[in-house]
Structure 1
Amino acid sequence: MQFRRAIVLLVMTLVVPGSAQIAAGNRNVGRVAVRIWASLLGVTLLGLLVAYLSRSTFLSLVLDQRVLFLGRWIVTAAAIGWVVLLLDAWRLGMPLRLPQRRRLIVTAVNGVLCFAVAGSLLFAANVLAAQNHLIGTVFASEEVADASDGRYNVLLLGGDSGEGREGMRPDSINVASVDAESGRTVIVSLPRNLQRVPFPEGTVMHEQFPDGFVSDDEDEGYYLNGVSTWANDHADLFGDTADPGLLATTQAVEAITGLKISYHASINMQGFAQLIDAVGGVTLDVKQRTPKSGITEKTKGWIEVGEQKLNGDEALWYARSRKADNDFARMGRQKCVMNAMLAQLSPQKVLLNVQDIAKSSAALLSTDIPASELDVFADLALKARSFPVSTVSIVPPAVNTVDPDFPVVRQMVDDAINASEGADEPPSAFETATAVLPQPERSEEEAAADPTLANDTADLAETC
């Protein structure tokens, strides 16, 4: 009878903290504990109701730093209080009066319950703390941008600030154009070697390069990813601008695509490798044997054909290598890696690796999206999962990267967005790149100037 009573008191405390004290101990303590437990349970149920009735309101709450900070300490206090009540329930069960074997059983049960309760609640507190730190570190901007023509256009830059480089030169340049209501998304991919790019009138870059980003004698067109370097090297022309390279690149992308950029997000590829390691690697179906080296570097190894589970370093080489092919094939591989990450990042992996993910994300991402807008983008991201993502790639043969027809480029972007808004199944990247417009004929001189024109689009389509 005494043994059963001791076990029941522990179970009562697990189910309703404070109930054991009301039944067999200090009733005042028990009543306070039950009221606190009931209040927290009520808040949890209210949160679930809000999530059911208004997802946007729920997201604004769970992504609010004040709520995260308060929630962390409430959960920590609840863990401590619950463990204290379990220890007191063990005392109320009078285990010293039990035979040794049963005394050990009661003590073991109490220990397991204390560990389970404290472990789960402290883990939850750690998740809240990591989320709060990530938001405060990465989403520190306070300037809010409105949607342009009903769409948020986010400039996505991928670069490497690793050894041997000054700053972060953008080698991967994309625009995610997201419908502000439905979340339908179009990804516009711009090759880093796009030449003669224009700039909006009235900007510093347009004053310096009124005929596009070309040399003084106009014999040579500079690459799109060189805009950032040039602007940073001539920062004095931009006055008090904090990041001339980012500003100039944003303006160039706006002139190329015809889209007004709302925000930017810069991805450091070294942080990307850390993120992949944090979630235990990524599995890819490698179509072509890929060297682990830059163009002029000695090959350090190979990523073999077939299904491969890659660690962060291997995935980074797979996404950035172009020694054996070209920029357009690399663009395709980068999309493969991102798609695989999206497909394989399960909630379980995120929860089990939240601390490492938060740490790597801080190294991975810098953005001017403010924390106050996170709920908007989180809601749009959830909506976007209901629709296929359309992509338009500014690559040959639809576009000659040496001497692009930018009105054609802007028409390609407009057509992709219109198709996305008006159809349940937007065109794929390959369909958009090759079929939106009639393919231009190329002269022998143009082919010699850009020898990758023949097969680049096929390389991009067949990467995954």
Structure 2
Amino acid sequence: MPQEKPDLRTLSEPVRFRRAVALLLMTLVLPGSAQIVAGSKRAGRYAWRVVAGLIALVLFLVLLSLVWRSGTINLIVAPATLRVVQVLLIVLAIGWAALFVDAYRLGRPLTLERNHRLAASILDGVLVVLVVGALVWGSTIVSAQRDFVASVFGSGEKSSADKGRYNVLLLGGDSGANRIGVRPDSITLASIDAETGRAVLIGLPRNMAKVPFPAGSEMAKQFPNGFEWDDCGHNCYLNGVYTWAMGHKQHFPGVQEPGLLATQQAVEGITGLKVNYYVLIDIAGFQHLLNAVGGITVDVGKRVPIGGIGAPIKGYIEPGKNQHLDGYHAMWFARSRANASDYERMTRQKCVMTAMLNQLSPQKVLTKFQGIAAAGKQVVQTNIPSGELGTFTDLALDSKKLPVSSFSPVPPLIKTGDPDFDLIRSKVAEAIGKSEALDRAAGDGDGQKTDTPSSVSPSKKPSTSPGKSGTTPSKPSSDVDDVAQVCKA
């Protein structure tokens, strides 16, 4: 037989107040429980079913991520999924607020003394604001994620790993009124093991001449003997490939940005590796992206000028360990060429990339995501399809646990004005082989996991393999250097 509801008039006023507060807190901990105890059991059970369904969905995604992390990430970041989540969070906010209002009503506030009624009202208002505010904030984060994915990542063609590796071309572009588009001045190929995420950064000097192109490519047809022509001046260098292609679009029918395609072909010709995707970052806007994540911390080995090279020097980034740089100073740390060689700048750029990889935790990305998304849409361009986000997020999480290796074909091993491209390709293959050997050693089960790649210090025996320059380097750049060791004060 159904029981009659207790007559609250028989309860003392303090008990009625505690009951009212308890109903509100029950709604916070388990939505619908206040209705089960003191109101409409049907409404309470419906709320419980919703909560149980959400818990089951979360547990399913957690279990799925344990066996298929990349697929789970792809599912979660899909624009259609994000739209559903965005709407669901708003509906949950409205429903939960309604349950709080009903729980307040069930507490019979008119039977309470004035101070207790005021306290219950304030508590109810605070809980509604906290819960609804959190859900609405979550909805805005999801909306920003959806907008970011739609704006930056497209529905381009998926590129499969080549020989077990993804090769992603990282381009740092300098935009300007006197330039066509965002010309790449920083060119790095990140070769990533598709299984372990261990990465090798191959930094290519922008002043490399006579760049070859893969057989059969449009650039190879135009420059069968490498990238050079009469009276081309400095434009015959690697970073001039982009400008030439953008100025000769008739050779690339149907290609929206031939400069990027031509640069990709140049990198393939130099390294002998297939380039799967590219990521272009406008260095001029790079500071906004770094400001969004709160900056980075790096070791600064020497004084780095701010400005210079055709403009006055405005200041310096002083040397020291664990220097925290905001977006403006991190940008100049990466781009400054005053009183330094291109090769030194390439090293600093690797330091910045490694710092971002190691210091951008998922928690920081989540809490700063709106700023990251807003800045990213302005400065990041890529042909990585949105369906591959899970794959590369998965690899990035694995890569964070491993040291990043690097190789740069620079003097004295390589004479950039007259490079030995066969030597470069062999050294690239050697660098990747050394990196992959670390994973094989770690998987041997002997308990002697290698934590850092091999490198040659100045005291070790130098290489006897000269480049076309005819010099014997004291520290050959063919060695796989742990970037963490390079980036030390």
TM-score of the aligned structures, taking structure 2 as reference length: 0.86
Q: Which deviates more, 232-241 or 85-94? A: 232-241
Deviations 1:312-367 (A, max 9, x none): 12211111110111101111111122222223323343222211111111122111
Alpha-carbon shift at residue 127 of structure 1 (Å): 1.8
Written as runs of structure 1 = structure 2, the 5 A alignment for 1:13-412 is 13-216=27-230, 222-306=236-320, 307-412=322-427
Over the matched positions of the two proteins, sequence identity in percent amounts to: 47
Which residue of 2 is the match for residue 427 of structure 1? 453
Alpha-carbon shift at residue 391 of structure 1 (Å): 1.3
Deviations 1:178-220 (A, max 9, x none): 2222322221110111111111223332233222112337998
Q: Which deviates more, 6-15 or 106-115? A: 106-115
Please tell me the residue identity of whatever aligns with 2:30: V
Q: Secondary structure at the match of 2:185?
A: strand
CA distance in 1, matches of 2:361, 2:157: 32
Alpha-carbon RMSD? 2.7
Contact 1:419 1:427 in 2 (8 A): yes
Please tell me the residue identity of whatever aligns with 1:380: L
Which residue of 2 is the match for residue 450 of structure 1? none
TM-score of the aligned structures, taking structure 1 as reference length: 0.91
Contact 2:354 2:404 in 1 (8 A): no
CA distance in 1, matches of 2:38, 2:110: 16
Extract unaligned runs of 5+ from structure 2.
1-14, 440-449
Which residue of 1 is the match for residue 10 of structure 2? none
CA distance in 2, matches of 1:462, 1:45: 43
Alpha-carbon shift at residue 373 of structure 1 (Å): 1.4
Please tell me the residue identity of whatever aligns with 1:133: D
Q: Structure 1 residues 211 and 220, CA, compared in 2 at 3 Å: closer, same or farther?
A: farther
Q: Secondary structure at the match of 1:292?
A: strand
Please tell me the residue identity of whatever aligns with 1:196: K
Count of equivalent residues: 455
Alpha-carbon shift at residue 262 of structure 1 (Å): 1.1
CA distance in 2, matches of 1:341, 1:220: 32
CA distance in 2, matches of 1:348, 1:220: 45
Please tell me the residue identity of whatever aligns with 1:389: V
Q: Secondary structure at the match of 1:334?
A: helix
CA distance in 2, matches of 1:92, 1:279: 45
CA distance in 2, matches of 1:71, 1:273: 31
Extract unaligned runs of 5+ from structure 1.
448-452
Q: Structure 1 residues 370 and 428, CA, compared in 2 at 3 Å: closer, same or farther?
A: farther
Q: Structure 1 residues 441 and 170, CA, compared in 2 at 3 Å: closer, same or farther?
A: closer
CA distance in 1, matches of 2:415, 2:248: 29
Moved over 4 A (4+): 217-221, 428-432, 434-437, 453-458, 460-463
